[in-house]
């Protein structure tokens, strides 16, 4: 069995330790220098912080259908570079991941690529049409073991369909991950509705369009006693609603994207579509409420909503551009800037929101374990002392639509270990097969 | 940079005297004032034209029409400076067709302003004859242009700046010569006497 | 002045006055036998229209031609590529043709910003109306008209009361006018049903009223905005009849105006909707003068943006200074 020794890493930023990995498991955690390195590959992790491998609840890998934007191979490689050992592949592909066949295909492509675990998210309704429930049971029972279902990109706005889906997934411990966007209130919407949208002449996207759906869905979830996950929460009001729902014991979880923790609608002043995203960037007040919600646990997870688009969908006028931003390779740095450097979250907190809780929400068995003997060896090693400049052309994603172009961000993923094997060493991907 | 040495070469009374002389010369050459139109080139040509006009009116007992011409849009050095504000172009009601038009300017230098003024005139009407009156001719012509009426020929070097001050604009009458060169070929310097 | 004219908000009071003063001088050219100045000879102005607007295009074309610029009309509407890349590709084409200025009309708010800031083209960009954002030259010509009629043709508009009525939410004319007229010292009041006012209008430099009648008697000028009938189908207001009754300018309301007050409309008018034919054709109406003033104001803008340093020269000199 192959042996790997990660020497001198500070687990969750505590005292340095040696982590010994045999096969795909952590077998020993001890004092620095205590590990037997004979016959082992040694990764010098002195001064680095060791975290459980990150789990992303919200990734658009675009395959099948839009391989010009991303593939499972390129997307999961980007994920590994960002410190992820598991990603949830969203269902809005072409064809839509609404059958066991498509989700198994994506799952298999993920296995073949080998950069991280790929957990497909199944569509709630056939073709994301919002009208007929997809074969959720078949997807759950497939090799892909789907537990999260989402029409992401579109809202399951029909209250009856939403109710039925919430009820139906109880049979296999699933959850509905809702893209909360009231469609009529957001027809043609381009950016957060506020003073700025009025000034810029861009059709507004009111906070209430998100909050109204969340309010309805938490009540439905309570009524049918099921499990709801709210995708990319973006407003202060949404945080309030989720906080209230949790206080009532409703089984709801929520995620926030890195960009909603850092960027505001002011960026739309440039009319640069790299800042066009769904849900839209909101106000400073919203950003602060989201940070607070993530810090106090109201929001459970950071999820990237990594949304690659080819350059022609961004190098155009705002209203013609596609919604979405890259996120996998910058997620940790943005979390450090917005949450760690602001004192809102410690490293145990980062591990909890980027690994432990998302794994639990996705019902991913072998992810999100703390770095203890017997746990699967998914380890992300972070250097928090460095900063780096984001250069779109240097990203591993097939697309270039990062909103952080030329921005200096703190902290970098140095090494990523997936299933006991290094996928990233010194910030570069290692071929794993 | 050295602080410029400024020397007054023409006092108020000198200006007064030569304008009177030029007025007489214009009348003499035109054989009266009936058909005359004076057009001052913006900026300092305009008060000069008015002064000459009032003198001729007094001497001859008839009103001489006086107008103003802004030649900015006809300059050949526009691209060398930021775009400038325009000043008024105001032709007398009688127009200029068939008239003897005397262009009036403060300083004759390269001749380019006068060239621009002739272009402008060409599009405003068809004078019978066009003449040129200037307060100071400082030489250094770049075009085949000469003045018909000159207040003072002032030999200068290209390293010197000629500045005309007029009460209507500057609060006093004087012509000065200083050691700071004009930026004659259109550099971003004072526009007044770069012509 | 900046290199581009994208928003009326880019103009300082001095910039705005410079444009208006220059336009006042250039207006005389229209009365001359030769309606032409040589100023922009050898410069190329491209009218890039992604939306039909014959009147705005013709106005810019006349302005550019009176300044002797070469004018290329490029109508991109209905071309084979309907979205996205076409803006970039079109821009690159224009750049290859050596456009010194691009006058752009686009249905998407911010498209001129994209052209100006993307690095695709080097020339000046003039916004000739973008989506529901702005139409700065329309505001300049309105300001020019107001100044001629109410302020003796010079100075600013301090204390003049201008009322803008109608579909403010979708109006680029209203946005640009609020910015420019307030810069020039006017008291602007927007009048519209609450559904046709943008979120955040209370932060704009103007007053807001839901009722027209109390505002009319105190107005020096009333500017009526075009109201499109599709707003009715989208439930912004119940019926055309109700809209006209509450927000239209008819003879009765016009009679409440002071003797010297004027009526404006950026055109094209919906006679019978926001303005009755009687009012549009009355002696108070300055709608035809607005059109004439449009040419002078656009000449001024073209001259001030293109008449001086060429952008390339300015950049070259900046490089020298910086080294």
- Domains of chain A in sequence order: 52-361 (3.20.20.140)
Percent of chain A with pLDDT over 90: 96
What pLDDT is stored for residue C108 in this prediction? 94
Q: Name the residue of chain B whose CA is nearest to C306's CA.
A: B83
Identify each DSSP E strand in C186-289 by its residue range: 187-191, 207-209, 221-224, 262-264
Contact (CB<8Å) C308/B82: yes
Mean pLDDT of chain B: 89
DSSP 8-state secondary structure symbol assigned to residue A3: E
Of residues C141 and C310, the one with the higher pLDDT is: C141
Nearest C-alpha of chain C: how many angstroms from B73?
5
Q: Which has more pLDDT, B138 or C314?
A: B138
The whole-angstrom distance between C153's CA and the closest CA on chain B is 13
Query: Beta-carbon neighbour count of residue A349 at 10 Å?
Result: 17
- For B85, the closest of C21, C28, C310 (CB atoms) is C21
The closest alpha carbon to A21, from A3, A8, A37, A38, belongs to A3
Pairing of strands A49-52, A379-389: antiparallel
The residue of B73, B76, B112, B126 whose CB has the most chain C CBs within 10 angstroms, and thus the best one to mutate to test that interface, is B73
* B3 pLDDT more than 70: no
Structure-token match 């001629």, residue found? C148
- Chains with ≥3 CB–CB distances under 8 Å to B: C
Q: Which two tokens stand for residue A34?
A: 């205590």
C313 neighbourhood in chain B, CB within 8 Å: 79
**Per-residue pLDDT at A430 exceeds 60:** yes
CB contact under 8 A, A316 and C175: no
* Choice between C268 and C300, residue whose per-residue pLDDT is larger: C300
pLDDT above 50 (res C320): no
Of the CA atoms within 13 Å of residue B99, those in its CB half-sphere come to 25
Which DSSP state fits C184?
Answer: T
What number of other Cβ atoms are within 10 A of residue B118's Cβ? 15
As a whole number of angstroms, the distance between CA A260 and CA A267 comes to 12
pLDDT digits (tens, 9 = 90+) for C210-241: 999 999 999 999 999 999 877 888 899 999 99
Q: How far apart are alpha carbons C3 and C123 in whole angstroms?
A: 8
Helices (H), chain C: 13-26, 54-66, 85-96, 111-117, 136-150, 172-183, 230-233, 240-247, 251-255, 277-280, 287-306, 311-322
Phi, psi of A207 (to 5 degrees): -60, -35
Contacts 24+ apart (CB under 8 A), C116-121: C116/C3, C116/C4, C116/C6, C117/A270, C117/A271, C117/A272, C118/A315, C118/C88, C118/C91, C120/C88, C120/C91, C120/C92, C120/C95, C121/C91, C121/C92, C121/C94, C121/C95
- Whether the ω angle into residue A13 lies within 30 degrees of 0, i.e. cis, is no
Percent of chain C past pLDDT 90, that is, above it, reads: 75
**Strand intervals (E) in A240-393:** 252-256, 301-302, 379-389
Catalytic residue among A152, A265, A305, A313: A305
* DSSP 3-state percent helix, strand, coil across chain A (nearest 5): 35, 25, 45
Confidence at B194, pLDDT banded by 50, 70, 90: very low
CA–CA separation, A419 and A116 (whole Å): 8
Neighbours of C96 (CB within 10 A): 9
Q: How many CB atoms lie within 10 A of CB A388?
A: 16
A31's CB contacts (< 8 A; 6+ apart) are: A17, A18
Other residues' Cβ atoms within 10 Å of the Cβ of residue B88: 14
Which residues on chain A are in Cβ contact (under 8 Å) with C88? 312, 315-316
- What was the pLDDT predicted at B4? 66
CA-based nearest distance C131→chain A, Å: 7
CA distance A145 to A157: 26
The pLDDT score that the predictor gives to residue B184 is 46
Residue with tokens 């013709």: C58
The angle at the Cα of A151, spanning A148 to A157, to the nearest 5 degrees, equals: 115
Q: Which residues pair with A388 in a beta bridge?
A: A409
C105 is catalytic: yes
Fold of B12-156: Rossmann fold (3.40.50)
Give residues with Cβ within 8 angstroms of A392, minimum separation 6: A400, A401, A402, A405
| Average pLDDT along chain A | 97
pLDDT higher than threshold 50 for residue A399: yes
| Distance from C-alpha of B34 to C-alpha of B27, rounded to nearest angstrom | 10
Mind listing the domains of chain C with CATH numbers? 8-135+291-322 (3.40.50.1370), 136-285 (3.40.50.1370)
Subunit contact C34:B73, Cβ cutoff 8 A: no
Owner of token pair 């099948």: A64
pLDDT tens per residue across span A204-238:
999 999 999 999 999 999 999 999 999 999 999 99
Any alpha helices (H) in B31-177, and if so which ranges? 45-60, 112-124, 167-170
Task: Determine C/A contact with 3+ CB pairs under 8 A as the test.
Answer: yes
Residue whose token pair is 């074309």: C61
Q: What would the pLDDT profile of C166-215 be if each residue is shown by its tens digit?
A: 999 999 999 999 999 999 999 999 999 999 999 999 999 999 999 999 99
> Considering CB atoms only, which of A197, A203, A316 is closest to C88?
A316
pLDDT tens column, C67-94? 999 999 988 765 544 544 578 888 898 8
Q: Confidence class of residue B185 from pLDDT cuts 50, 70 and 90?
A: very low
* Mean pLDDT for the stretch of residues B144-163: 95
Residue C209's alpha-carbon distances to C168, C202, C242, in angstroms, are 12, 11, 17
Euclidean distance between CA atoms C231 and A189, whole angstroms: 16
Q: What are the CA-CA distances from residue B101 to residues B39, B49, B97, B130, B147 (Å)?
A: 7, 11, 9, 5, 13
- Check if the beta carbon of residue C184 is closer than 8 Å to that of residue C143: yes
* Chain length of chain C: 323
Written as one string, the DSSP assignment of A198-253 is HHHT--EE-HHHHHHHHHHHHHHHHHHT--EEE-S--SHHHHHHHHHHHHTT--EE
**Paired tokens of A32:** 């620095």
What is the rounded CA–CA span in Å between residue C116 and residue A229? 42
pLDDT of residue B78: 85
- List residues of chain B with CB under 8 Å from any CB of chain C: 70, 73-74, 78-89, 119, 123-125
Please enumerate residues of C whose Cβ is less than 8 A from a Cβ of A: 83-88, 106-111, 113-114, 117-118, 130-134, 172, 175, 198-201, 203-204
Preferred mutation among A193, A194, A199, A204 to probe C, highest tally of C CBs within 10 A: A199
C257-275 in b/e form (b: 16+ CB < 10 A) is: beeebbbbbbbebbeebbb
Quick check: C85 and A312 CB within 8 A? yes
Tokens of A1: 């069995």
In the set C56, C163, C183, C276, the catalytic residue is C56
Pair type for strands A421-425 and A428-429: antiparallel
How high does pLDDT run on average in chain C?
90
Closest C-alpha among C285, C23, C288 to residue C153: C23
Query: Comparing C-alpha atoms, which of C133, C202, C204 is closest to residue C172?
Result: C133
Is the pLDDT at A431 greater than 80, yes or no? no
Contact residues, chain C, for B124 at CB < 8 Å = 32-34
Q: Which of C239, C243, C214 is nearest to C226 (CA)?
A: C243
What interface predicted TM-score (ipTM) does this complex get? 0.90
Inspect the interface and report whether the beta carbons of C113 and A315 lie closer than 8 Å: no
Per residue in A82-113, pLDDT (tens digit) is: 999 999 999 999 999 999 999 999 999 999 99
At A13, list the tokens. Answer: 């930023």
In the block, residue with structure tokens 């097969």 = A433
- Sign of the dihedral through C-alpha C266, C269, C275, C280: positive
- With beta carbons less than 8 A apart as the criterion, state whether C164 and C223 touch: yes
Burial degree of C319 (CB within 10 A; 0-12, 13-18, 19+): exposed
Confidence tier at B165 by pLDDT (50, 70, 90): very high
């Amino acid at each position: 069995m192959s042996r790997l020794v990660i020497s001198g890493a500070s687990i969750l930023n505590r005292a340095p330790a040696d982590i010994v990995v045999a096969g795909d498991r952590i077998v020993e955690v001890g004092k620095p220098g205590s590990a037997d390195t004979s016959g082992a590959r040694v990764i010098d992790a002195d001064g680095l912080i060791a975290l459980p491998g990150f789990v992303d609840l919200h990734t658009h890998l675009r395959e099948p259908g839009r391989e010009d934007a991303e593939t499972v191979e390129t997307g999961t490689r980007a994920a590994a570079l960002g410190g992820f050992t598991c990603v949830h592949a969203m269902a809005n592909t072409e064809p839509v991941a609404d059958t066991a066949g498509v989700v198994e295909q994506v799952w298999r492509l993920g296995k073949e690529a080998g950069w991280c675990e790929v957990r497909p998210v199944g569509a709630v309704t056939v073709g994301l049409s919002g009208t007929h429930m997809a074969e959720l049971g078949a997807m759950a029972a497939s090799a892909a073991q789907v537990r999260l279902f989402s029409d992401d990109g579109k809202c399951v706005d029909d209250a009856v369909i939403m109710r039925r889906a919430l009820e139906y997934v109880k049979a296999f411990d699933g959850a509905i991950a809702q893209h909360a966007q009231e469609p009529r209130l957001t027809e043609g919407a381009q950016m957060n509705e506020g003073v700025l949208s009025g000034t810029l002449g861009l059709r507004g996207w009111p906070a209430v369009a998100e909050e109204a759906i969340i309010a309805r869905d938490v009540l439905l979830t309570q009524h049918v006693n099921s499990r709801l996950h709210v995708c990319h929460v973006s407003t202060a009001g949404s945080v309030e609603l989720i906080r209230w729902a949790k206080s009532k014991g409703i089984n709801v979880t929520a995620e926030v994207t890195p960009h909603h923790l850092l960027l505001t609608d002011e960026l739309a002043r440039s009319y640069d579509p790299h800042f066009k995203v769904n849900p839209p960037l909101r106000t400073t007040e919203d950003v602060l409420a989201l940070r607070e919600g993530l810090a106090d646990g109201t929001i459970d997870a950071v999820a990237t909503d990594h949304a690659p688009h080819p350059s022609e969908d961004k190098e155009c006028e705002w209203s013609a551009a596609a919604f979405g931003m890259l996120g996998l390779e910058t997620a940790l740095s943005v979390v450090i800037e917005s949450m760690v450097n602001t004192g809102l979250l410690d490293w145990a907190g980062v591990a909890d929101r980027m690994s432990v809780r998302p794994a639990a929400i996705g019902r991913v068995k072998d992810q999100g374990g703390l770095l203890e003997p017997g746990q699967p060896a998914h380890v992300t090693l972070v250097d928090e002392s460095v900063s780096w400049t984001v250069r779109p052309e240097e990203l591993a994603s097939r697309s270039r639509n990062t909103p952080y172009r030329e921005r200096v961000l703190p902290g970098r993923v140095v090494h990523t270990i997936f299933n006991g094997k290094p996928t990233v060493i010194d910030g570069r991907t290692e071929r794993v097969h | 940079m050295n602080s410029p040495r400024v020397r007054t070469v023409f006092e108020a009374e000198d200006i007064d005297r030569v304008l009177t002389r030029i007025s007489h010369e214009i009348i003499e050459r035109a054989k009266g004032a009936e058909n005359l139109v004076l057009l001052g080139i913006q900026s300092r040509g305009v008060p000069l034209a008015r002064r000459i006009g009032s003198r001729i009116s007094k001497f001859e007992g008839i009103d001489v029409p006086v107008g103003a011409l802004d030649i900015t849009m006809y300059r050949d050095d526009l691209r060398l400076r930021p775009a400038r504000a325009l000043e008024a172009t105001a032709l007398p009601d009688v127009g200029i067709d068939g008239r003897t038009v005397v262009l009036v300017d403060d300083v004759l230098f390269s001749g380019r302003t006068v060239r621009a003024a002739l272009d402008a005139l060409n599009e405003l009407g068809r004078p019978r004859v066009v003449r040129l009156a200037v307060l100071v001719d400082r030489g250094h012509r770049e075009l085949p242009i000469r003045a018909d009426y000159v207040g003072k020929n002032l030999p200068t070097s290209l390293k010197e700046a000629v500045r005309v001050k007029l009460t209507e604009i500057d609060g006093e009458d004087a012509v000065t010569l200083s050691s700071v060169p004009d930026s004659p070929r259109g550099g971003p310097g004072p526009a007044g006497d770069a012509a | 002045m900046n290199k581009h004219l994208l928003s009326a908000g880019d103009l300082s009071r001095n910039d705005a006055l410079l444009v208006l003063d220059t336009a006042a001088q250039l207006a005389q050219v229209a009365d001359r036998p030769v309606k032409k100045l040589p100023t922009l000879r050898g410069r190329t102005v491209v009218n890039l229209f992604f939306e039909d607007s014959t009147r705005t295009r013709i106005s810019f074309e006349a302005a550019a031609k009176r300044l002797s610029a070469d004018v290329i009309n490029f109508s991109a509407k209905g071309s084979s590529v309907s979205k996205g890349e076409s803006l970039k590709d079109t821009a690159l084409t224009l750049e290859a043709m050596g456009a010194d200025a691009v006058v752009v009309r686009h249905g998407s708010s911010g498209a001129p910003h994209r052209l100006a800031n993307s690095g695709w083209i080097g020339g000046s960009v003039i916004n000739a109306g973008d989506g529901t954002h702005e139409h700065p030259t329309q505001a300049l010509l309105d300001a020019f008209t107001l100044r001629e009629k109410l302020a003796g043709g010079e100075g600013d508009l301090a204390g003049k009361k201008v009322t803008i009525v109608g579909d403010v939410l979708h109006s680029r004319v209203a946005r640009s006018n609020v910015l420019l007229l307030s810069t020039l010292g006017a008291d602007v009041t927007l009048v519209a049903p609450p559904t046709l006012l943008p979120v955040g209008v209370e932060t704009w430099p103007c007053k807001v009223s839901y009722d027209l009648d109390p505002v009319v008697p105190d107005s020096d000028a009333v500017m009526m905005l075009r109201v499109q009938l599709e707003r009715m189908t989208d439930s912004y207001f119940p019926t055309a009849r109700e809209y006209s009754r509450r927000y239209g300018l008819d003879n009765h309301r016009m009679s409440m105006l002071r003797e010297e007050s004027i009526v404006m409309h950026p055109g094209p008018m919906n006679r019978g909707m926001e303005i009755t034919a009687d009012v549009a054709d009355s002696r108070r109406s300055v709608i035809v003068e607005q059109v004439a003033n449009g040419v002078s104001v656009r000449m001024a803008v073209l001259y001030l943006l293109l008449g001086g340093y060429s952008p390339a020269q300015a950049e070259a000199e900046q490089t020298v200074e910086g080294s």
